[in-house]
Amino acid sequence: MDNIIEIENLHKSYGSVKAVDGISFNVKRGSLFAFLGLNGAGKSTTINIICSILKKDSGLIRVDGMDIDSHADDIKKITGIVFQQSVLDARLSVRDNLKCRAALYGITGEKFSKTLDFITSVLSLEEIIKRPYGKLSGGQKRRVDIARGLLNEPKLLILDEPTTGLDPQTRKSVWSVIDKLRSERDMTVFLTTHYMEEAGGADDVIILDSGAIAASGTPVDLKNRYSGTYIKIYVPYHDDDAAIKAIFPKAEYDNNCYKIKIDTVDDIKRWVNSCPAGMEDYEIIKGDMDDVFLNVTGKTLAGGVL
């Protein structure tokens, strides 16, 4: 699989603040790529440079083999983007919003009708296509925002926090659509998100911290390097400490349970078989991307989001 994005030694500063500090990475064609970091880490700055919204200070960017310095307009033609905030007109209908945006790509007449029919079917917009955009629910608006990003049949779709503020059911529905389109069109999805479980489904992940790459790899690689597996033993009262510490010397008690980090499957078997009487309620928890982010950056997470 070749690369659709290649970035080498990218720099962007605002005065003395280094927003992007010499980052280099590639994005494989057809992959789901997750770009993570706290607000201010450099994610949006990097995206805006890729989309030619911002000028880089230095470095090399190629998209689909084209240098951004000499082929910015060509790159825009193959790129779709869903911004954090909507850019559509609240007073216009969904159809009229999409028609106006399609015209910017030269998609008009019969070509627009065919494109609209396809997008309407895939994103289930039939019931809202004639309604004013401003009257839609958050999930409905997000589907229309994604429709706008797909009008030009992009090879690269950039999703900048596409599901922030959506309820779990709507988030699942949005991702179902994105995954279907990616598989059907061999489309690359470049994702920034504050939901670590979304990043867990990516092919490759980069974590930014203060404009620099703090960690990179597949979710499995990152979890193996920066997270761990734990046993949680639930007890109603904190009165069996001595018996538990005899088996689990490093056990930590918090919120009605003991948490113990384990290293091997054999450790699990040994500890479970040695459990004192009454220690029946336990679970084995594999480290997740929340743990990875916390351990890589040293930053805390609140409510499951960064």
Let me know whether 278 and 164 are in one domain.
no
CB 37 within 8 A of CB 226: no
Let me know whether 262 and 160 are in one domain.
no
At 33-71, the pLDDT tens digits run: 999 998 889 999 999 999 999 999 999 999 999 999 999
Residue 303 pLDDT level (bands cut at 50, 70, 90): very low
Q: Which has the higher per-residue pLDDT, 262 or 192? A: 192
Residue 301 pLDDT level (bands cut at 50, 70, 90): very low
CATH of the domain at 273: 3.30.70
Residue 236 falls within a domain, yes or no? yes
Q: Per-residue pLDDT for 259 more than 90?
A: no
Residue 147 falls within a domain, yes or no? no
Our count of domains for the chain comes to: 2
Let me know whether 222 and 234 are in one domain.
no
Let me know whether 2 and 23 are in one domain.
yes
Let me know whether 271 and 163 are in one domain.
no
Would you state the pLDDT for residue 243?
72
Token representation of residue 263: 């290293």
Let me know whether 194 and 302 are in one domain.
yes
Residue 144 falls within a domain, yes or no? no
CB 238 within 8 A of CB 253: yes
Query: If you write DSSP's letter for every residue of 97-139 in order, what string do you get?
Result: HHHHHHHTTT--HHHHHHHHHHHHHHTT-TTTTTSBGGGS-HH
Would you state the pLDDT for residue 131?
97
Residue 235 falls within a domain, yes or no? yes
Q: Which has the higher per-residue pLDDT, 297 or 96? A: 96
Would you state the pLDDT for residue 238?
62
Let me know whether 213 and 298 are in one domain.
yes
Let me know whether 72 and 2 are in one domain.
yes
CB 149 within 8 A of CB 81: yes
Percent of the chain with pLDDT over 70: 92
Residue 19 falls within a domain, yes or no? yes
Let me know whether 215 and 304 are in one domain.
yes
Would you state the pLDDT for residue 278?
54
Q: Per-residue pLDDT for 262 more than 80?
A: no
Let me know whether 159 and 278 are in one domain.
no
Lowest-pLDDT choice from 67-81, 147-161, 260-274? 260-274
What is the domain range of residue 40?
1-78+155-168+188-226+290-306
Q: Per-residue pLDDT for 20 more than 60?
A: yes
Residue 245 pLDDT level (bands cut at 50, 70, 90): confident
Residue 70 falls within a domain, yes or no? yes
Percent of the chain with pLDDT over 90: 54
At 180-227, the pLDDT tens digits run: 888 888 899 999 988 888 899 999 999 999 999 999 999 999 988 888
Q: Which residues are CB-contacts of 3 (< 8 A; sequence separation ≥ 6)?
A: 26, 27, 28, 29
**Mean confidence (pLDDT) of the chain:** 87
Residue 22 falls within a domain, yes or no? yes
CB 119 within 8 A of CB 98: yes
